[in-house]
Amino acid sequence: MKQQDDGEKSGGCALMRRYDRALARSSRPVYVRIAMVFLGLCAAGTMAAEPYEQPTERQAAEVLPTALVVSPHYRVQDPVIADGYMYRFTVESPFGTFEATGYGALRKLLNEIGAIAALREIKTGKAFGDAVAAAATGPLRFAKYLLTHPVDTVTGLPKGAYKFMEETTADISSERDPSDDPGYKQALQVTARKRDFAAQLGVDPYSSNKVLQKELNSVAWAAAAGSFTVSVALLPVGGTAGAALGGVRMGGTLNVQLKNEPATRLRIINKDKLAAMGIPADLATRFLDHPAFTPRHDTILVESLARLGNVPGRDKVLAVALEADDEVEANLYTAIAQTMRGYHETVAPLTVIQTIGRLVVAQAGNGHALVPLPLDHVMWTQAVERRSQELQANYKAPGFTGQFDVWLTGTASPLARQQLAQRGMTVTEEVYKRVEIVD
């Protein structure tokens, strides 16, 4: 037995590897990578049973406001899977079964389900049918593909976000100047109408939600190719999350940009802003090319960093963001940037940004150090204790008083709050209620 314990210590992550193998045999995927990214689950020793807490499955009604659990268009299913850091939700609806990891992703999904319902209602009307018939004789040659293969054409998937216009140009025109081709001009109208409908509905035109993309694409095509007009704001969209999630809205500047600018133009805007911050060109390019981040992610994160003023260390945020493997992690890094912006604007200006491992820590003018954690529920675990010790031992900044302000988008257990407080770390929960964090 002693030999096994020694192997655990020398191996570092042996326990984590055994946990990974167990998960691989399970029929239910768990996003443990999130915990590894932010709180380092690979321990240098064995896990003690006490006094640490263990995550357990929860009922949806235990972790969500009643208004979000069920609506005419969806129901959040039980149980909600917990890994000690994030919740994974399964949502049943007439439009399919969806999964979301994290509160923010869930809020975004529930708004999208309401938008899908509204778009489908549009498609049942006579005006839409007339537009489809009129468009059949129009010049938009790839029109039918927008209806039959929507995600493969005007896609919201990250991998296609930057290539859409080039691919469209090649498909619809062989002329040297595509701006002379009426089909090209109409393709531009499709993307513009799609962004317009998305803005009216309060959803992301680049969302990876395939059902939403299908409905947005077909309605946008009818609007552009068949002279179809409708105000989605006048449609009854009962049961969406919009009313209950008043804080989940796009800020004025971001809303205008995402509605009016195509993805290629957003890239130019974001690149110019990063250059103005002094971000090295190669780092900016790698970030803007990262497949896990959509143009919406890029715009929100870059705008948040820009609003921090001239604080040094913004390049460190982009450097750790490059570690994102998928959309779930892209959401987390985007939330980190927004949390820093919110603290900077409402509590105390940030003076320098550092990273301790993969944790982002920002020194503030009030002498405190901000630790932004976009996690659903933090429990007192060996990993959390170790991270708190690493912060205390390794964080140094001019004017630092020894006080850490841990800002959570979610909550912490009473034991976690108590233990962190003993280490000079004050936890502020549900910070999305204090500052605007766009999902």
* Radius of gyration, CA atoms only, the chain: 24
Q: Which of 66, 101, 136 is the last residue of a domain?
A: 101
Tokens of 281: 């060109």
Q: Same domain, yes or no, for 39 and 167?
A: no
**DSSP code per residue over 23-48:** HHHSSS---HHHHHHHH----SSPPP
Each residue of 96-132: pLDDT tens digit?
Answer: 999 999 999 999 999 999 999 999 998 888 878 777 7
CA distances from 152 to 96, 179, 181 (A): 19, 23, 22
pLDDT in tens, the chain (439 residues): 434 444 333 343 443 444 444 444 444 444 445 445 555 544 444 444 458 999 999 999 999 999 999 999 999 999 999 988 999 999 999 999 999 999 999 999 999 999 999 999 988 888 787 777 776 665 554 444 444 444 444 333 333 222 222 233 333 333 434 344 445 556 677 888 889 888 888 888 999 999 999 999 888 888 877 666 666 554 544 433 333 333 334 466 777 788 889 899 999 999 999 999 999 999 999 999 999 999 999 999 999 999 999 999 999 999 999 999 888 899 999 999 999 999 999 999 999 999 998 899 999 999 999 999 999 999 999 989 999 999 999 999 999 999 999 999 999 999 999 999 999 999 999 999 999 998 8
Instruction: Supply the pLDDT for residue 87.
Output: 95
Q: How far apart are CA 238 and CA 119, in angstroms?
A: 13
Which structural domain, as residue segments, surrounds residue 202?
A: 103-234
Instruction: Supply the pLDDT for residue 187.
Output: 66
Residue at 438 is within a domain:
no
Q: Same domain, yes or no, for 319 and 301?
A: yes
Helix, strand, or coil here: 236?
Answer: coil
Each residue of 24-72: pLDDT tens digit?
Answer: 444 444 444 544 555 554 444 444 445 899 999 999 999 999 999 999 9
The shares of helix, strand and coil residues in the chain, as percent rounded to the nearest 5, are: 50, 10, 35
CB atoms under 10 Å from CB of 49, counted, come to: 7
Residue at 51 is within a domain:
yes
Of 108, 73, 98, 115, the closest CA to residue 215 belongs to 115
Of 327, 353, 337, the closest CA to residue 409 belongs to 337
- Helices 295-306 and 263-276: crossing angle in degrees, nearest 10, is 30
Instruction: Supply the pLDDT for residue 113.
Output: 96
Would you give the end-to-end CA distance of the chain in angstroms?
48
Q: Same domain, yes or no, for 280 and 407?
A: yes
Of 261, 355, 272, 343, the closest CA to residue 307 belongs to 343
Q: Same domain, yes or no, for 425 and 309?
A: yes
Instruction: Supply the pLDDT for residue 288.
Output: 97
Residue at 318 is within a domain:
yes
Instruction: Supply the pLDDT for residue 130.
Output: 78
Q: Same domain, yes or no, for 216 and 136?
A: yes
pTM of the predicted model as reported, rounded to 2 decimal places = 0.77
At residue 237, φ and ψ (nearest 5 deg) are -120, 50
Tokens of 250: 């796009």
Instruction: Supply the pLDDT for residue 172.
Output: 34
Q: What is the signed CA dihedral for 108, 262, 159, 374, rounded to 10 degrees?
A: -30
Residue at 439 is within a domain:
no
Q: Same domain, yes or no, for 93 and 114?
A: no
Q: Same domain, yes or no, for 274 and 202?
A: no
Q: How far apart are CA 336 and CA 274, in angstroms?
A: 17
**CB-based contact 244:74 (threshold 8 Å):** no
Q: Same domain, yes or no, for 258 and 164?
A: no
Instruction: Supply the pLDDT for residue 116.
Output: 95
Q: How many domains does the chain have?
A: 3
Residue at 351 is within a domain:
yes
Q: What is the signed CA dihedral for 207, 210, 212, 213, rounded to 10 degrees?
A: 70
Instruction: Supply the pLDDT for residue 199.
Output: 86
Q: Which of 101, 135, 169 is the last residue of a domain?
A: 101
Residue at 70 is within a domain:
yes
Instruction: Supply the pLDDT for residue 230.
Output: 65
**DSSP code per residue over 255-284:** HHHHHHS-HHHHHHHHHHHHHHTT--HHHH
Residue at 168 is within a domain:
yes
Q: Same domain, yes or no, for 123 and 95?
A: no
Q: Same domain, yes or no, for 28 and 91?
A: yes
Residue at 315 is within a domain:
yes
Q: Same domain, yes or no, for 212 and 357?
A: no
Q: Same domain, yes or no, for 325 and 177?
A: no
Q: Which of 206, 234, 262 is the last residue of a domain?
A: 234
- DSSP letter for 425, please: E
